[in-house]
Structure 1
Amino acid sequence: MSSEIDAPAATLDLGLNWHNRFAQLGEAFFTRLHPTPLPAPQWVGASLAVADLLGLDRAWMNSPEALEAFTGNCAIAGSEPLASVYSGHQFGHWAGQLGDGRAILLGEVGTASGPQEVQLKGAGLTPYSRMGDGRAVLRSSIREFLCSEAMHALGIPTSRALCVTGSPAPVRRETIETAAVVTRVAPSFIRFGHFEHFSHTGQHEQLRTLADFVIDSFYPACRDAPGSPYAALLEAVSARTAEMVAQWQSVGFCHGVMNTDNMSVLGLTIDYGPFQFLDAFNPGHICNHSDTGGRYAYNRQPNIAYWNLFALGQALLPLMDDQQQALDALEPYKAIMPAALQRRMNAKLGLVEVEDGDAELTEDLMKLMAQDAVDFTIFWRRLSHAVTSVRAEPDEGLRQAQPGREAVRDLFLQREAFDAWAARWRERLFAQPGFDATTTQARMLRTNPQVVLRNHLGEIAIQRAREGDFSELARLQNALERPFEALPGQDDLAAFPPEWAGQIEISCSS
């Protein structure tokens, strides 16, 4: 599938240490090509932390050369641009060959934190664009940029985002919008769909090459594991995916389009499209307007992740002795995911260890929150502040009229039911050896964020950016990079969503 087009006339040396191991896998894995330039590029946003990760000079990031480089308007010395081919299941149906339809991998850079791939999303047509135009719009690029860095700050495995550049070039979606390019960074962008592609097309030699590359590069312990190294790889990917999904659930994050081609083999959150952080808690919330069947609803994400892992297991079967090896490798997910989620929910409740009865305590709380449509993020933050008001006496707890307690109770319509739950929580807190309310509060405030990327916050930043004002984006980015801090003058970012927020529709085109 390999072909090449002429490189841009200008070549820029970024001073990076390029390795480009994926480009050495062979021509069956990609097509070589260069980004398509965009006119009149401008800076939209940048993450200096990611610049530091790559070893780029912060001052240089403001330069015209950096702007041209990360818009795809010039060649970069040492890079080997390509678009990779993969396949996948979309909304539960086999979609056949897909691939990087609007993303171009510049290559792999050696950093102090290990190799990092650098990819331009929205950089123009590729052989895998199908009916698309190869472009990304300003709206979706801002959302991906902000959420990548927000998730990282929350401690959730994710691809990162170096910057967003914009252009007045028109792009048609539901309406005419303007083009943008987001520069994404990750140790690897290999997906479940890469394995599915070579398995379903009978290219088993390439399937083994890919699996060996992933094992040797990212899961070396699998090479010497008992039995099949490929079954060990499947089990390792399952474990990472389980931990990631547990983290999603604990912060109320909805991915929105968990197709197998959007699942990272490294257990990273990738491909931010129609995502959403929950406002009012609704376990069945569907954030993707295109998901008419609710396949990717919030409460279905753990099971969908297992479904996708099962598809990955099927893809790896040609490398295993029998089907049972794959089934055995998948089995630990069923225990790892709920255990990881319970640990995280316990942390949100200020509980250090998981004990019998904690799952019921959590489930009963979530039912109350769902019944009263309690704001997910605000509840956990208020509960963190209220913990210092908790008393050991059985007739007190969160029922007395102190500001911290009342702020939590005010979120519920069924206050007596919440009081009954709070009494159980209080008893569990005080049963912990050496319980100290101040220490527990500090720990909970480091677990329950003050600010998440709610849809309406992103929408405000997008509207301002469309008017040429990027200050709101920068302000929001600054808060999202410090999600557990109470930042002076930023109360609006942690407030209840406005009524119009419920009317925002995010689809797969986003």
Structure 2
Amino acid sequence: MSSVHTVLVFALVAAASVTPVHALDSCQSTDRDCHGHDTKTSPDAIRSRWNVNASNLMQDLDQFSVSCTKLIDAFPLDEVDGNFVRTVKNCIFSKSIPTPLKGPLRLAAVSKDVLEGILNVDMAVTQSEEFLHYASGGKLLPGSVPLAHRYGGHQFGYWAGQLGDGRAHSLGRYTDRSGDGRAVIRSSVREFLCSEAMHFLHVPTSRAASLIVSDEPVMRDQFYNGNVNTERGAVVLRLAKSWFRIGSLEILSQSGEIDLLRKLLNFVIDEHFSSISSDDPDKYLVFYSTVVNETAHLIAQWMSVGFAHGVCNTDNFSLLSITIDYGPFGFMESYNPDFVPNSSDDEGRYSIGAQANVGLFNLEKLLTALSPVLTKKQQKEANVILKGYVHIYQMRFHQLFKAKLGLLRDEEGDGYLIAFLLKMMEDTQSDFTMTFRQLGEVSAQRLHNGNFTQMWALEDLSSHRLFSDWLSMYLLRLGRQQNNHDLDRQHRMNNVNPRYVLRNWMAESAIKKAEMNDFSEVELLHHILSSPFVTQETAEEAGYAARPPLWAKRLKVSCSS
């Protein structure tokens, strides 16, 4: 059971998707329960690890109350009430009552790991009408004063001015609890599945507790081409320790609201950066250094699982360096540094290979936002810190990809070995996920013999004219790892190289069924992706580790996704 933490509760309204907030240490990558093993495992065996002490779980939602006093006391509120678009000044939040989804409501998916392991709520409560209304924003929790957060952001390289929560509402603070909004079914299914999938890939992320769908019509121009269609509304209840992002600070700095900027910075540091002393005259500098370091680590982790966020605007970059705001994301299939998951990104600004540079750009904008509260000396030191970002990212990238290849200790040629492999993968359009996975599944003897029967990704890779050269280098490198049995190497690799990721074609298949009120594939994917490193019979039968179908190449997602 997770330890007690204070968390925020959010609910999306109007036309969005829901989000709660959870404890930072609920299931970290060092937790043994977060790691899989490459064995055939029955669904019952996998499910058993969610067993918790039912006597500790909340079984009555009447006990679920929140308080908004900390945020309301900490910051001035918008003087105007109401749900309408407006420019606001001198505030962080506006009071705004969520617009509930219209019924009938259906619980399409729920994460037992989140509800019981983080929120301490018994799964039985999800069967009640009360849960549907609380989780979809139709009924306010006791003590809630819904707040919409004001922030700004650089979008596709340009300052977009005031943005903010057009659909998200902070509902309050509660021990082990929180949430945010509503969207259409396709985007909600994608967000629910991917945020949970990323968690079990050990990538820092917001979480998803539930997915609720309705028959309420929502008008959407999915690809912004004038073809407006009617879709059904949905809500995802999400969790995160904080929803403050770079854009939260930018809007205050850009507006010249420096006292409020200091107040928000102090709040964020006191709440979420406990290692930084509130009396430290360099606390903003230390805060910046921490964000630079953790952002570099996060993007390297994205790269290690082939994840492209799709919209790396400053308003989508968390100050806590977790993955938030899942929109037109994509897991890269054929290795291609120019892979762009977002059909709206015509220039490829947010291609997977550009993510590290975009992170640098966003951190530059964060420094600009912080400059009014830094001394000249601190600004110079902050620029030195920023210059160190590239080195931090490269070091973390190197560490992660060494682990993906099962390499121990450091050798001078390791970087070349990694780069050589990635270039061959690019040339042969080898599948990113399955190439690394199958390198871990195959024995050194089979590698030496070139026996890749039933290993489609390695068969593609081995077609490269330089493959035998790389393979010789790799086997020699493995041979120098003294006192390391080949089975140990395979075990290590299979614990960091997933067999299953949320490919767009898999999500699309689940979405099509969900739109017809068949949530079986959403449930199946949620179950499979909760153990992405474990070979699972049901996943193999569904083809989740097979060569992607030809129709998958025709799929497109946009910012509306």
Please indicate, yes or no, whether the TM-score normalized by the shorter chain is above 0.5: yes
1:30 aligns with 2:79: no
Paired residues of 2:192 and 2:211 also in contact (CA < 8 A): yes
Report the secondary structure of 1:490's partner residue.
helix
Counterpart Cα distance in 1 of 2:554 and 2:279:
51
Classify 1:423/1:407 alpha carbon distance in 2 versus 1 (closer, same or farther; 3 Å). farther
Structure 1 equivalent of residue 463 of structure 2: 414
Report the secondary structure of 1:180's partner residue.
strand
Greater shift, 312-321 or 75-84, is seen at 75-84
> What amino acid is aligned across from residue 505 of structure 1 in structure 2?
K
1:61 aligns with 2:115: no
Task: Return the match for 2:299 from 242, 245, 261.
Answer: 245
Structure 2 equivalent of residue 329 of structure 1: 385
Structure 2 equivalent of residue 130 of structure 1: none
Structure 2 equivalent of residue 479 of structure 1: 528
Describe how 1:386-425 pairs up with structure 2 within 5 A.
386=442, 388-390=443-445, 398-403=447-452, 409-412=458-461, 414-425=463-474
1:170 aligns with 2:227: no
Counterpart Cα distance in 2 of 1:225 and 1:334:
30
Deviation (angstroms), 1:38: 1.5
> What amino acid is aligned across from residue 87 of structure 1 in structure 2?
G
Structure 1, residues 30-81: CA drift from partner, whole Å, max 9, x if none?
Answer: 1112211122111111111110201111111222110111111111113332
Report the secondary structure of 2:497's partner residue.
coil
Classify 1:422/1:59 alpha carbon distance in 2 versus 1 (closer, same or farther; 3 Å). same
Q: Which runs of 5+ in 2 are unaligned?
A: 1-59, 78-90, 222-228
Structure 1, residues 82-125: CA drift from partner, whole Å, max 9, x if none?
Answer: 110000100000000000111112222223xxxx5x23222xxx
Paired residues of 1:242 and 1:337 also in contact (CA < 8 A): yes
Structure 2 equivalent of residue 317 of structure 1: 371
Structure 2 equivalent of residue 505 of structure 1: 556
1:370 aligns with 2:449: no
Paired residues of 2:427 and 2:464 also in contact (CA < 8 A): no
Structure 1 equivalent of residue 193 of structure 2: 146
Q: Normalising by the residue count of structure 1, what TM-score does the alignment of the two structures yield?
A: 0.90
Deviation (angstroms), 1:468: 0.7
Counterpart Cα distance in 2 of 1:226 and 1:63:
49
Classify 1:249/1:30 alpha carbon distance in 2 versus 1 (closer, same or farther; 3 Å). same
Describe how 1:277-288 pairs up with structure 2 within 5 A.
277-288=331-342
Structure 1, residues 235-269: CA drift from partner, whole Å, max 9, x if none?
Answer: 10111111110000011000000000000000000
Deviation (angstroms), 1:432: 1.5
Structure 1 equivalent of residue 63 of structure 2: 15
Classify 1:22/1:332 alpha carbon distance in 2 versus 1 (closer, same or farther; 3 Å). farther
Counterpart Cα distance in 2 of 1:282 and 1:481:
26
Structure 2 equivalent of residue 46 of structure 1: 110
> What amino acid is aligned across from residue 449 of structure 1 in structure 2?
P
Describe how 1:124-135 pairs up with structure 2 within 5 A.
none
Deviation (angstroms), 1:14: 4.6
Q: Normalising by the residue count of structure 2, what TM-score does the alignment of the two structures yield?
A: 0.82
Classify 1:96/1:197 alpha carbon distance in 2 versus 1 (closer, same or farther; 3 Å). same
> What amino acid is aligned across from residue 358 of structure 1 in structure 2?
D
Task: Return the match for 1:430 from 450, 464, 479.
Answer: 479
Structure 1 equivalent of residue 180 of structure 2: 120
Counterpart Cα distance in 2 of 1:35 and 1:407:
49
> What amino acid is aligned across from residue 389 of structure 1 in structure 2?
A
Paired residues of 2:444 and 2:475 also in contact (CA < 8 A): no
Paired residues of 2:310 and 2:330 also in contact (CA < 8 A): yes
Classify 1:107/1:332 alpha carbon distance in 2 versus 1 (closer, same or farther; 3 Å). farther
1:187 aligns with 2:250: no
Paired residues of 1:190 and 1:264 also in contact (CA < 8 A): yes
> What amino acid is aligned across from residue 369 of structure 1 in structure 2?
M
How many aligned positions are there?
474
Counterpart Cα distance in 2 of 1:199 and 1:284:
34
Deviation (angstroms), 1:210: 0.7
Task: Return the match for 1:446 from 495, 499, 505.
Answer: 495
1:494 aligns with 2:542: no
> What amino acid is aligned across from residue 230 of structure 2 in structure 1?
I
Paired residues of 1:16 and 1:55 also in contact (CA < 8 A): no
Structure 1, residues 317-366: CA drift from partner, whole Å, max 9, x if none?
Answer: 11100231321232332211111111110110001223322111101110
> What amino acid is aligned across from residue 18 of structure 1 in structure 2?
V
Paired residues of 2:65 and 2:142 also in contact (CA < 8 A): no
Deviation (angstroms), 1:404: 6.3
Structure 2 equivalent of residue 265 of structure 1: 319
Classify 1:29/1:408 alpha carbon distance in 2 versus 1 (closer, same or farther; 3 Å). closer
Counterpart Cα distance in 1 of 2:315 and 2:449:
51
Classify 1:289/1:351 alpha carbon distance in 2 versus 1 (closer, same or farther; 3 Å). same
Paired residues of 1:289 and 1:507 also in contact (CA < 8 A): yes
Greater shift, 405-414 or 61-70, is seen at 405-414
Deviation (angstroms), 1:401: 4.5
Classify 1:19/1:506 alpha carbon distance in 2 versus 1 (closer, same or farther; 3 Å). same
Deviation (angstroms), 1:225: 9.1
Classify 1:503/1:406 alpha carbon distance in 2 versus 1 (closer, same or farther; 3 Å). closer
Classify 1:180/1:343 alpha carbon distance in 2 versus 1 (closer, same or farther; 3 Å). same
Deviation (angstroms), 1:17: 6.0
Counterpart Cα distance in 2 of 1:501 and 1:406:
20
Counterpart Cα distance in 1 of 2:161 and 2:551:
39
Counterpart Cα distance in 1 of 2:64 and 2:250:
33
Deviation (angstroms), 1:470: 0.3
Deviation (angstroms), 1:215: 0.9
Structure 1 equivalent of residue 51 of structure 2: none
Paired residues of 1:389 and 1:402 also in contact (CA < 8 A): no
> What amino acid is aligned across from residue 357 of structure 1 in structure 2?
G
Structure 1 equivalent of residue 184 of structure 2: 137
> What amino acid is aligned across from residue 30 of structure 1 in structure 2?
F
Report the secondary structure of 1:54's partner residue.
coil
Classify 1:432/1:14 alpha carbon distance in 2 versus 1 (closer, same or farther; 3 Å). farther
